[in-house]
Structure 1
Amino acid sequence: MSQPKSLLIELGTEELPPGALDELAAAFLRGICQGLSSRGIDAGLSSARAYASPRRLVVYVPAVAAAQPAQTIERRGPAVRAALDAEGQPGPALLGFARSCGVAVEQLEQLTTDKGAWFVYRSVQPGQPVAALLPAIVDEALKGLPIPRPMRWADHDFSFVRPVHWLVMLHGDALVEGKVLGLASGRLSRGHRFMHPGPVPIADADGWLDALRAARVLADPAERRARIRDEVARAAAQTGGVPQLDEALLDEIANLTEWPVAIACAFEREYLAVPPEVLITTMETNQKFVPVLDAQGRLTEHFIGVANVHSADPAQIRKGYERVIRPRFADAKFFWDEDLKTPLAGYQEALKQVTYQQALGTLWGKSLRVAELSRIIAGRIGVDAAAATRAAALAKCDLVTRMVGEFPELQGIMGRYYAQHHGESPDVAAAIDEHYRPRFAGDAIAAGALGRVLAVADRVDTLAGIFAVGLKPTGNKDPFALRRAALGLARTLIEGELDLDLDALIVEALELLPVTAFGGQEGTAPATRRAALRGELMGFVFERLRGYYAERGFDVAAFEAVLAVRPTNLHDFDRRLRAVLAFAGRPEAASLAAANKRVANLLRKEEESGAAIPAKVDPARLELEAERALAAALEAARSDAAAALRRGDYAAALERLARLQPEVDRFFDEVLVNAEDPALRANRLALLAQLRREFGAIADIARL
C-alpha cells in the first residue's frame, strides 16, 4: 500500500466578503474533514488547516491515505426456520435473498444470536480511491457553507458566494481529476491580481504555500496578520506615533489583502477639533485605515492605510488615501459644527416626532418613562434624583443629531460631548454616554453612579415595553437585543453593587407603560397581563444570569440553590451565591445538604397527606436527648445567624449553621421522625421545618 500523502484543495473565486471569510474558511475545513472521516479515509485530520485570502478558500490535510480501507458488507436475510421447508430445502424467501445478493444459496452464511439464527451474506469489497471520492466530498463541503445569499452568474445552474474561476486538487504530487461548480480541477493556481496576474503551477500539495508566496500571495491568514502588524508598526514609526490597531480591524484588513503594504498618511490638523471618536470611526469603519496616537494616547493627524500591492510609487497611493478621507472628515466637521448650534436639550422636541415602537409611542415618551424610573432608583440608592432625571431627559437627544444620524454607533458618546459643550454637569454628561454600557461582550459597566442609575432604568423600560407588546425573543431571533439588555441590566446591578429590588422595578416599569402597550391582548385586563409579564421578565433575567455565572466558572448546583429561594435583589443574589460556594467547600456541607434534602422530602410527604405541621416546637414533647440537643443547638444558632443575616453576611450565617452538623447527624441516627404518636411526629417535623427555614433563608442547601 502506498504511503499517505498531503491533500490540497484550493477554490479560486472573485473577491470574497471580508466579514464572512474566516467563517467560510472554517466551515470549508469542517466539511472536508467530515467528508473524509465519514468515508473511513485515514487522514491526519487533527493537523488539517484552513487557508484563505480574498480570492481563495483552501484546505490542506497532511497524510491522507490513497484509498478507503476494505469495506466489509453484511446483509441479513430471512430467519433460518422460515427460510427452509420441511425437507430442509431453500424456500422462496431464501432463494430470492440469494438472488438479490448475486450468489448461490450455498455461499450464504448463518448468523446465530440469542434471538435466533438468520442467513447472512458477507463480502469484502476494496475501498475506493480518494481520487474518486474527493469531488463529491468537496461538493458536499461547499453546499454546507454558511452562505445566506448565494450568487448566480453566467448561465450556470449552480450558485456560490462569489463566482469561481479555478480549482486545484492535489494528493501529493498527483492531480486529482474532478469537476466542482462547473470547474475542472487542475494544478494551476493564480497569484496576486496585480503583481503576479498569471497562472502559478503547483508541483505538489506541500509546495503550494511557498509557490503562492513567490507569486506575491500570503495565503496563510496568520502570516498576513503578522505582516500587517509589522508593516503598520514600521509606517507609524515614520510619523513618531503609536498605531491603534485592534484585532477586529486587523482581521478585516487581513481579509482584504493578499500582500499587505502599509503607507503612512496625514490629514489637515483642523479636523482634530472634531471629537476623536468620530474621526476614528470614520477611519476604521468606512476606510479600514489605522489611526495613529501620540505618546499620551491622543489622536494625531497621521493615519496608516494598508494597500494590497507593493507600489513603485507609494506617494500616489498616499495621495489617494488622503483624498478619500478628506470629504468624510469635512462632512463630520460640518455635522459637529451644525449640531453645536443647538443645545442638547433643544433636541427634545424632535424626539416627539420619532417613533420608538408603534404601541409604545415615541422616543420622547420613552425618555419620560426612563426619567421617572431614574428618579425612583436614585432615591433608593442615595443618588441625586434631580441629576438623574436631567440625565435621563437628555440621554436620547443625540439620536436626532446630524452626527449620530450619520454614525449611529456614536450614540451616547456624542451626547456626552454636546452636553459638556453646553454646560451640563460632568456627571450628567458622563451618564449620557455611560448608560449604554456594557455596549458589547466584555465591556465594563457604567463607571459612575448616575450612569448606572440610567443604565438600569433604560434597560428595565426596554424589557418591560417590548415584552408587553409581545415581541420577546424567540429562538435565535432577538431584533431588539433584549438578551443583551437583560445581561447588561444584571451585570450593572451585580457589579455596580446596587441594592435594588428588580421585581419592584419591573412592576413600576410595567405601570408606566402606555395602555396601547397592552392592546394586543384582547380581553385580558392590563393588571392580569402585568402580573404575567412580571414573572416572565424575572425568569428572562435569571436565564441570562445563569449564563453569566456559568461563563465565570461558578458551580451550577450552587446557582440553582440560590435561585430556588428567588432573591429579587441581584446584588443580594450574588452575595448569597458566593456564600453558598464557600459553604459547599466545607467538610460539613455534603452531610448537611443530604440532611436538608431528607428534611424536604419528609415535609413534602406530610403536606401531601394533608397533615398540618405546627409552626412552633413544643419543648415538652421533646422526648429524646438527640432531639433536645438539636432544638437547643438550633435555638443558639438562630440568634447568631439572624444577626449575620441582618448585616447581609451570608457567609457568616452559613458558617454558624454549619456547626449544627453533629446535632443534625445524631438526630437522624437516633430519632424516628415518623413516630406512631401523631403529636410526637408533628413536633419532630416542626423541629425539622425550623431547621429548613434557617438554611432556606439563604438558599436551598438540599440542591448541593
Structure 2
Amino acid sequence: MAESAGKPLLIELGVEELPIAAVDTLAVAFFNAVRKGLETRHFGIGREELDRTQQFYCSPRRLAVYLPWVACGQPRVHTKVLGPAVSMGLDAAGQAAAALRGFAAKIGVAVESLTREMTDKGERYVYVSEDVGQPLAALLPEILAEAVKALPIAKPMRWGAHAWSFVRPLHWLVVLHGDQVIEAELFGIRSTRHSRGHRFMADKPVWITDADAYVEALRGAKVIADPAQRRERIHGEVARVAAQLGGMPQMDDALLEQIANLTEWPVAIGCSFDASFLAVPQEALVATMVANQKFVPLLDDHGALLPRFIGVANIESRDETRIRHGYERVIRPRFADAKFFFDKDLKTPLATHQKALAAVVDQSALGSLWDKSVRVAELARVIANRVGADAAQAAHAASLAKCDLLTRMVGEFPELQGVMGRTYALAQGESPEIARALDEVYMPRGAGDTIAGSALGRVLAVAERADTLAGLFAIGGKPGGAKDPYALRRAALGLARTLIEGGLQLDTRGLLLEALDAIPETALAAGLKAAKVTTALDAGARRAALAAEIERFIIERLRGYYAEQGIAAGVFEAVLAVAPSSLVDFDRRLRALADFTRTPECATLVTANKRVANILRKQAETGDAAAAAINSALLEVPAERALVEALAAVRHASTTAATGRDYAGALAHLAALDAPLARFFDEVMVVAEDPAVRGNRLALLAQIRAAFNAIADIALV
C-alpha cells in the first residue's frame, strides 16, 4: 500500500432522537475527537481538502464525521541509530570488538545487520530500520471507541440489559473508507454501509455506496444531513409562509438552531390563534411560542404581534390541515394560561409584593430580596444625584424592580422579568419613566443587547450590578476558571458598558466602595471564613481591598470589549497604566490614543518615550535622581535648549486640553515634540559626567514623560 494513498472517510452514528441543545456540540466534539485520534496515530488527513470541505453532519437522529481524504495506512518510519566508529568496531583479528557487540546487543540485532556510513565524525557503524505502520482498518475501531468515550455527555443513557451507556441508544453504525466498509463494533452494533432515512417518510435502510455519496443518498431518503443546508431550508420555508400570511417572522439564530435540531426535513406550516389573546403582552405570547413550542411568531410592519405564527414540521404531509390544527390546538391552552396569569397579576399592585420579598432569600449571608432592593434603592439615589437624574424616582423604581419576580407571569416565564414589571407598572398608574426603568434595569441582557435607553434606567442598571458584584465578592463568590455560577462576568461587563456608553462620569472605585458600605459586616466575615483568611482585617480595610479587586475584575472584562472594536492591546495597557478613575475617562483616553497611533509622529514618539522611560528607570536604580526643576543655566547643548523651549510651548496647551478631557487635542499638541526630541537624543549625552548637568537633563526627560503620562503611558503602545 502506497503511503500517499488515501480516500474519503465517513463515520455515522445512528441514534434515537438527540437532545436538541446537544446536537451541534456533540457533532463538533465527535469530529474533533476522530480527527485527534487520526493525527496522534500519524494518519494523513489532507488538510487542504479539509479546509474546503464540510467536516461534520448531524441531525436529530445522527452524528457523522466526514473527512475528504484520509491515508490508507500510517506512514513508513525510518529509524537510524549511530554506533561506534569503524576503527573501534573490529579487533586485530578482524572480529567484532566489544564496543560493536555491545551496540548490536543493545538494539537487539545481529552484528551482520549493521551497515557502515560516512558521517561528519568519520565512518560509523549504523543500524537502519523501517516500520511500514498499520493500515487504517486496523486502528480505526480503536479511534472510534476513544472518540465516543470523549464526547461531552451530561446524562448518559443506558438501554436494554447492557452495561454500556451513551447519549441515546445506538441503532446503526456506518464506517466507510472510500467505498470499503471498515469493520468496527460499538455498543453491540457492527458497522455496515446501511444508514437510515427519515423516520416517517423513508424509514428503511439507505445504501451508501461510498463516503462521498452520503449526503445525496440521505437527501433521497428525505434527510438533510448538512445542518447549514437544513438551516437554509428553514429560512426559505419560513419566509415563504410568512409572505403568504402577510407578516415578518421573528426568528433569531437560537430559535433557528433549535428548529434545525428538531427536524431532518423541515416544512413550514402557517397557523393562527384567537386575536383576543393579543390583550396579553406580546412578550409573554412570544415567549410561550418560542420557548415551549419552537414556533415562529409573526409581526406587522410596526413590530406588533399578529394573530398568526409558523410551525415547522418534520414531514411533508398530504394533509397540512391536520398538522396546522394540531399546532393551533397545542398553543391555545398555553395562551389561555398566560392570559389567566396576566389578568390575575393586574389585580395586585406591584408595591404589595414588597413585603413578600422579605421572605425570599437572595443569598443567606446577604439577606432577602427586599434587603437587596433597599440597598439598590439607596445606591440608585446616590448615583442619580451625581449624574443629574431624579433621585426620588430612582429610589422608588429600585424599590419596585424586584416585585415582578413574585408575579404569576414571571413565575411561569422567568425570562420576562423586567418586561412584566414595566407592563404592570404602566397598567397600574406608575409614570412611563418608572415603568421603563423597571425593564431597563436588566439591560444589557446579553452580549448583543443595547444598554438602557433612559437616564433612570441606566442609574438602576448601574446600581443593581454594583450591588450584585459587591455582595457576591464580599461572600467569596468571585468566579474561578470557567465557572461563573452567578454570571458576574456578564454583570461586570454590563456595568462597564452602561457607564461608558451611557456617559456616566462616576468614580469607579468610589461607586464600588459605596456599594460595599451597604453590605453587612456579617457578609464580609462570611467571605473571609469561606476564603480561610485568619489574618485580622477590619471591615474598612476589607471593603477597600474588595473595591480594588472588583475594579480590576471589571476592567479585565473590557479587554475583550475593546479588542472586538479593533483596539490594540498595547493601547489598552497604555491607558490602564495611568489608572483613570472613571471608565468614561478611560474610554476617551483609549479612543484618542488609538487614533493617535495612526498618525506619522506616533511611532517615533513611542520609541522616544520608551527610551525616556528606560533612562529614568536605570538612573533611578543607580541612585541618580532627576533635579527638582530645570535650570536653564545648565543647558549646554542647543538641542536641549530647543527641547526645553518646545516643551514649554506645548505643555500649557496640552494640559489645558487634557483638563477639558480633549485627549486627542492634547496628544496633537504633544506631537510637536517629535522633531526636537529626536534631535535631543541624536546630539545630547543624557548621562553626562557632571552630576548637575546629568540631573538637569533627567529633569527634562521626567517632565516630558509626565506630560505624556497625563494622558497615557505611550511607551507601552
Task: Provide TM-score, normalisation by structure 1.
Answer: 0.94
Report deviation, 1:96: 6.9
Equivalent pair of 2:625/2:698 in contact (CA under 8 Å): no
Partner of 2:33: 31
Equivalent pair of 1:110/1:118 in contact (CA under 8 Å): yes
Amino acid at match of 1:456: V
CA distance in 2, matches of 1:320, 1:83: 91
Equivalent pair of 2:45/2:67 in contact (CA under 8 Å): no
Whether 2:285 is the aligned partner of 1:272: answer: no
Whether 2:638 is the aligned partner of 1:635: answer: no
Amino acid at match of 1:344: L
Flag the 1:298–1:107 CA change in 2: closer, same or farther, 3 A: same
Partner of 1:299: 305
Unaligned runs of 5+ in 1: none
Report deviation, 1:75: 5.9
Equivalent pair of 1:413/1:433 in contact (CA under 8 Å): yes
Report deviation, 1:610: 4.2
Equivalent pair of 1:283/1:290 in contact (CA under 8 Å): yes
Report deviation, 1:499: 1.3
Which of residues 445, 448, 452 is equivalent to 2:451?
A: 445
Report deviation, 1:624: 3.1
Deviates more, 1:88-97 or 1:538-547: 88-97
Partner of 2:531: none
Amino acid at match of 2:77: T
Task: Provide TM-score, normalisation by structure 2.
Answer: 0.93
Residues 150-187 of structure 1, C-alpha deviations (whole Å, 9 max, x = no match): 22323434332111111111223222222233321111
CA distance in 2, matches of 1:470, 1:8: 49
Which of residues 343, 346, 361 is equivalent to 2:349?
A: 343
CA distance in 2, matches of 1:333, 1:82: 99
Flag the 1:139–1:451 CA change in 2: closer, same or farther, 3 A: same
Partner of 2:437: 431
**SS in structure 2 at match of 1:18:** coil
Partner of 2:421: 415
Unaligned runs of 5+ in 2: 529-533
Flag the 1:33–1:296 CA change in 2: closer, same or farther, 3 A: same
CA distance in 2, matches of 1:255, 1:191: 16
Equivalent pair of 1:241/1:293 in contact (CA under 8 Å): yes
Whether 2:220 is the aligned partner of 1:214: answer: yes
1:138-217 to 2 correspondence within 5 Å?
138-217=144-223
Flag the 1:600–1:62 CA change in 2: closer, same or farther, 3 A: closer
Flag the 1:274–1:622 CA change in 2: closer, same or farther, 3 A: same
Equivalent pair of 2:80/2:129 in contact (CA under 8 Å): no
Partner of 1:511: 517
Partner of 1:40: 43
Flag the 1:120–1:535 CA change in 2: closer, same or farther, 3 A: farther
Report deviation, 1:561: 0.8
Flag the 1:115–1:685 CA change in 2: closer, same or farther, 3 A: farther
Amino acid at match of 2:462: V
Partner of 2:13: 11
Flag the 1:603–1:401 CA change in 2: closer, same or farther, 3 A: same
Report deviation, 1:666: 2.4
Equivalent pair of 2:43/2:70 in contact (CA under 8 Å): no
Partner of 2:710: 697
Residues 517-567 of structure 1, C-alpha deviations (whole Å, 9 max, x = no match): 211325321112112112211111111111111121101111111111011
Partner of 1:72: 77
Partner of 2:575: 562
Amino acid at match of 1:72: V
Whether 2:661 is the aligned partner of 1:648: answer: yes
Partner of 1:54: 60
Equivalent pair of 2:83/2:127 in contact (CA under 8 Å): no
Flag the 1:631–1:300 CA change in 2: closer, same or farther, 3 A: same
Amino acid at match of 2:23: L
Report deviation, 1:110: 5.8
Residues 57-109 of structure 1, C-alpha deviations (whole Å, 9 max, x = no match): 1122224443344x124164765699958668557786576467664212124
Report deviation, 1:118: 7.5
Whether 2:262 is the aligned partner of 1:249: answer: no
Report deviation, 1:223: 2.5
Equivalent pair of 1:369/1:512 in contact (CA under 8 Å): yes
Partner of 1:129: 135
CA distance in 1, matches of 2:397, 2:87: 87
Equivalent pair of 1:72/1:122 in contact (CA under 8 Å): no
Equivalent pair of 2:198/2:264 in contact (CA under 8 Å): yes
Partner of 1:319: 325
Residues 111-131 of structure 1, C-alpha deviations (whole Å, 9 max, x = no match): 787799976532234343333
CA distance in 1, matches of 2:290, 2:592: 45
Amino acid at match of 1:593: V
Amino acid at match of 2:681: F
Flag the 1:363–1:82 CA change in 2: closer, same or farther, 3 A: farther
Which of residues 23, 33, 48 is equivalent to 1:21?
A: 23
Equivalent pair of 1:42/1:68 in contact (CA under 8 Å): no
Amino acid at match of 1:548: Y
Report deviation, 1:4: 4.2
Which of residues 598, 601, 609 is equivalent to 1:585?
A: 598
Report deviation, 1:640: 0.8
Residues 374-411 of structure 1, C-alpha deviations (whole Å, 9 max, x = no match): 11211111111112112211111111211111111111
Equivalent pair of 1:640/1:656 in contact (CA under 8 Å): yes
Partner of 1:688: 701
CA distance in 1, matches of 2:119, 2:471: 65
Whether 2:665 is the aligned partner of 1:660: answer: no
Deviates more, 1:232-241 or 1:257-266: 232-241
Whether 2:616 is the aligned partner of 1:603: answer: yes
Flag the 1:294–1:154 CA change in 2: closer, same or farther, 3 A: same
Equivalent pair of 1:77/1:94 in contact (CA under 8 Å): no
Amino acid at match of 2:20: P
Equivalent pair of 1:258/1:308 in contact (CA under 8 Å): yes
1:444-463 to 2 correspondence within 5 Å?
444-463=450-469
**SS in structure 2 at match of 1:659:** helix
**SS in structure 2 at match of 1:168:** strand
Partner of 1:370: 376
Q: How many residues align?
A: 703
CA distance in 2, matches of 1:583, 1:574: 14
CA distance in 2, matches of 1:62, 1:567: 54
CA distance in 2, matches of 1:101, 1:611: 65
Equivalent pair of 2:84/2:103 in contact (CA under 8 Å): no
Flag the 1:45–1:143 CA change in 2: closer, same or farther, 3 A: farther
> RMSD over aligned Cα, in angstroms?
2.5
Equivalent pair of 2:270/2:308 in contact (CA under 8 Å): yes
Partner of 1:533: 546
CA distance in 1, matches of 2:696, 2:38: 69
Residues 19-63 of structure 1, C-alpha deviations (whole Å, 9 max, x = no match): 111121122222333333442335433325211111111122224
Residues 445-472 of structure 1, C-alpha deviations (whole Å, 9 max, x = no match): 1111111111111111111111111110
**SS in structure 2 at match of 1:19:** coil
CA distance in 1, matches of 2:313, 2:54: 30
Deviates more, 1:507-516 or 1:95-104: 95-104
Whether 2:607 is the aligned partner of 1:594: answer: yes
Residues 413-436 of structure 1, C-alpha deviations (whole Å, 9 max, x = no match): 111101111111111111111121
Partner of 1:404: 410
Report deviation, 1:700: 0.5
CA distance in 2, matches of 1:467, 1:82: 74
**SS in structure 2 at match of 1:576:** helix
**SS in structure 1 at match of 2:317:** coil
Equivalent pair of 1:235/1:262 in contact (CA under 8 Å): yes
1:613-624 to 2 correspondence within 5 Å?
613-624=626-637
Flag the 1:92–1:417 CA change in 2: closer, same or farther, 3 A: farther
Which of residues 666, 669, 674 is equivalent to 2:687?
A: 674
Amino acid at match of 1:547: G
